[in-house]
Structure 1
Amino acid sequence: MKPMNKYLLLALCCLGLGTALAGPAARRATTLPATALPAYGRYRLTDAHQLELIGSAVHFGFSFEGPRCEIYASLPTADGHNYLQYELDGVYQRRVRVAGAAAAPLVLTAPGPGRHTVWVYKATEAHTGPIFIEKITGPRVKALREAAGPLIEFIGNSITCGAAADASETPCGTGAYHDQHNAYQAYGPRVARALGARFVLSSVSGIGLYRNWNSAGPTMPQVYEKVDFQDASPQRWDFSTFTPAVVSIALGTNDFSNGDGKHERLPFDSAQFVGRYVDFVALVKTKYPRARIALLSSPMMGGHNRSTLQNCLTAVKTAADAAHPADAPVALYFFQPMQARGCNGHPSVEDHALLAQELEPFFRPLVAPQQGPRP
């Protein structure tokens, strides 16, 4: 082999475009298939052996050596786009746009040599569509697992999704709806990180308990058991995948909505809301019998609606506690009203930081009994 060809192959190997070269450098350049990546959140493995990232903030981690690595990500259609976001060595970096027609991998760079850790999160919600991960390439790349610790599942609507929160790249009122999604910086993941807990998000924009923001459904109780929160989906989520210590439910904002002005909207029905909520709490308890249930109000509501929602949640707690006397009582938290600064009346990234700060003292004692020594 001529020297020029050898050096050319070495360069290609370092760029992740070739892996067949013999020698120490080639042995360090490895490929990690998606099937070897433990994922946390709503996901599934496809028949093509890809990791399908579905829900908000579903995430996976890996480590590598050297200055760079490559993530091979794709979308189900060539004309769409979606977003990932990532931490490098424990520090949040940025959102990364995934183009449907892109053939090249996403390249992540590190500031220096040595071993680096990466955690990758889906920035958008399930209804935005999935992102498929085929493989990770880089020097000595290895999959990571989350450290043992309590898990919080956050069930909710667009607020829990981190929707319309981040206008740093696409201004409000422009682009697609999901261009301002930032699930990583939503209040739930922030609370979990502050408490040293793990998290998964089960959230859908516009969804409610007995009606959605502009429609009769399908509501959260109707789609919660579906892997992608789509009513027509044939595949159900396997609830044995994770065992949360706490399940936080923040629904109601959309039930109180006045709608879109196009579809008939009846006045809010407290009896329907409470009845459906009690049934949904019972459903969650069948999935996670030992989890502590926490009900959150809405930071977006004030005045009469705020008082009505709080009264409804108190009624739900009373009924649920009476129906399950042997279980730990349902916990309640009522948000302080907030003047949201994100897009379309949603909390901004900065607002989510304030919400998380407000919630941290509430969640701490709920999580603390579950905590133990971490490896």
Structure 2
Amino acid sequence: MFLSVAFVLAATIYGGAAMPGSLEESLLLNGRWSVQDSCLCASAPAVSISFNAKTTEVSFDIEGLARFRLDIDGKTQKYFTSNERKTQKFKAPKDGKMHLFRLIKVSESNPGKICVRDISLAKGGTFGERPKQSNRRIEFIGDSFTVGYGVEANNVNDGTPFEKTNNTKSYAFLLAEGFKADYHVNAVSGRGLVRNYANMVPEWTIEHLYDYTVMGAPEQDANTERWDFERFHPQVVVVFVGINDFQGEPPYADVGKFKQAYVKLLDRLRALHPGVKFLLVATKTWPNDDLGGVVEGIYNDQVAAGKTDILYKFVYTENTALHGHPSENSQKELANTLRPLVARLGGWLSR
């Protein structure tokens, strides 16, 4: 016999958010989740579900291909993989006390999605109060560097993206954790702002995917749900896009179109989230090192126009992990480099 969360009613979700159903005050969400009649669906990196519970066992009914991490009281307990719909069961501390559980999706869905259809506790188990939302909110908009693509690989040919990607080892997750902030990681590997790597699926760039709740779904269903921007108002947005616009096989993105789309995104976010601050990030691209100059030019234009809500940083990374992506050590260094800038923008201490 189990006590379970039934995903049957609508809910208002704001950043870390309440689940639908009779236990709507029990669950806290981070990242973009689609709240449907019978499940929660998502594709974004590092989406998570947190809740307090007193139980000897917790079960997750999950459908879709993904790797997950289960934390209890802030400590990693288990990594596991889902694919076909299956109930995953895990032992919990048998001390009769309330504990904090967090389920984090560590792999990428690109394209695709996962659905959590139920969360159950053992007989006699009880859900506690919903974990508190943070007063700090940060969003990351990016590509594979932000996803944490291949970060666990020992070299550029070690394993597959599914096996070696771990969002919780990306600079984005590390920064959010360090600030104890609610977060959204809206990043998709291989995608640029206006031009994707090797011009793959050219109609589905970040510029177009950004409007969807489940960003991995529109390629398969163009009628998928649009994101309601009232559900999460970030205080700081880290924009690290453009690597795929200007790297790999030509032709590269038209600089004029890229600048126009970049500024349009900034202006749109200002309108959606009054008072929001921006950190623009760029790095070296191959074979032409164009990205830094283009983004720095956008930043300079913004400052010249009187914008005071914005900072810029050019970063260097050690791209020794899978397919030439930042290693775990490099992701940590990247987080350390950006931390004081994010703290300055948010008016936050690191802890």
TM-score range, shorter chain: 0.7 to 0.9
Question: C-alpha separation between the residues in 2 aligned to 1:96 and 1:143?
Answer: 26
Segment of structure 1 superposing worse, 206-215 or 65-74: 65-74
Residues 1:354 and 2:333 are matched in the alignment? yes
Query: Partner residue of 1:247?
Result: 237
1:180 positional shift? 2.0
1:211 positional shift? 0.7
1:96 positional shift? 1.5
What letter matches 2:297 in structure 1?
A
Query: Partner residue of 2:196?
Result: 212
Q: Where do 1:303-318 residues align within 5 Å?
A: 305=289, 308-318=290-300
Unaligned 5+ runs, structure 2: 8-19
What letter matches 1:52 in structure 2?
C
Residues 1:40 and 2:30 are matched in the alignment? yes
What letter matches 2:317 in structure 1?
M
1:200 positional shift? 0.9
Query: Partner residue of 2:100?
Result: 117
What letter matches 2:80 in structure 1?
V
Matched residues, number? 324
Aligned mate of 1:297, from 282, 294, 318: 282
Root-mean-square deviation over aligned CA pairs? 2.7
1:301 positional shift? 3.8
Unaligned 5+ runs, structure 1: 1-17, 20-29, 76-80, 260-264
1:189 positional shift? 1.3
Q: Which has the higher contact order (CA 8 A, sep 6+)?
A: 2
Task: Go from structure 1 to structure 2 and tell me whether the alpha carbon gap of 1:294 and 1:167 turns closer, same or farther (over 3 Å shift).
Answer: same
What letter matches 2:32 in structure 1?
R
Greater Cα radius of gyration, structure 1 or 2: 1
Question: C-alpha separation between the residues in 2 aligned to 1:309 and 1:92?
Answer: 37
Query: Partner residue of 1:160?
Result: 146
Alpha carbons 1:163, 1:180 under 8 Å: kept: yes
Alpha carbons 2:60, 2:116 under 8 Å: kept: yes
Task: Go from structure 1 to structure 2 and tell me whether the alpha carbon gap of 1:286 and 1:32 turns closer, same or farther (over 3 Å shift).
Answer: same
Question: C-alpha separation between the residues in 2 aligned to 1:295 and 1:253?
Answer: 13
Query: Partner residue of 2:112?
Result: 129
Alpha carbons 2:32, 2:214 under 8 Å: kept: yes
Task: Go from structure 1 to structure 2 and tell me whether the alpha carbon gap of 1:233 and 1:113 turns closer, same or farther (over 3 Å shift).
Answer: same
Aligned mate of 2:54, from 58, 65, 88: 65
Alpha carbons 1:84, 1:121 under 8 Å: kept: yes
Superposition TM-score, scaled by structure 2 size: 0.83
Alpha carbons 2:41, 2:214 under 8 Å: kept: no
Alpha carbons 2:69, 2:77 under 8 Å: kept: yes
Question: C-alpha separation between the residues in 2 aligned to 1:73 and 1:144?
Answer: 21
Question: C-alpha separation between the residues in 2 aligned to 1:291 and 1:151?
Answer: 10
Query: Partner residue of 1:334?
Result: 314
Question: C-alpha separation between the residues in 1 aligned to 2:94 and 2:211?
Answer: 42
Query: Partner residue of 2:77?
Result: 93
1:45 positional shift? 1.2
Question: C-alpha separation between the residues in 2 aligned to 1:122 and 1:108?
Answer: 19
Superposed CA offset, 1:111-148 (max 9, x none): 75522211111112342422222222222133633433
Tell me, what secondary structure is at the counterpart of 2:347?
helix
What letter matches 2:180 in structure 1?
G
Task: Go from structure 1 to structure 2 and tell me whether the alpha carbon gap of 1:218 and 1:319 turns closer, same or farther (over 3 Å shift).
Answer: farther
What letter matches 1:153 in structure 2?
E
Alpha carbons 1:281, 1:320 under 8 Å: kept: no
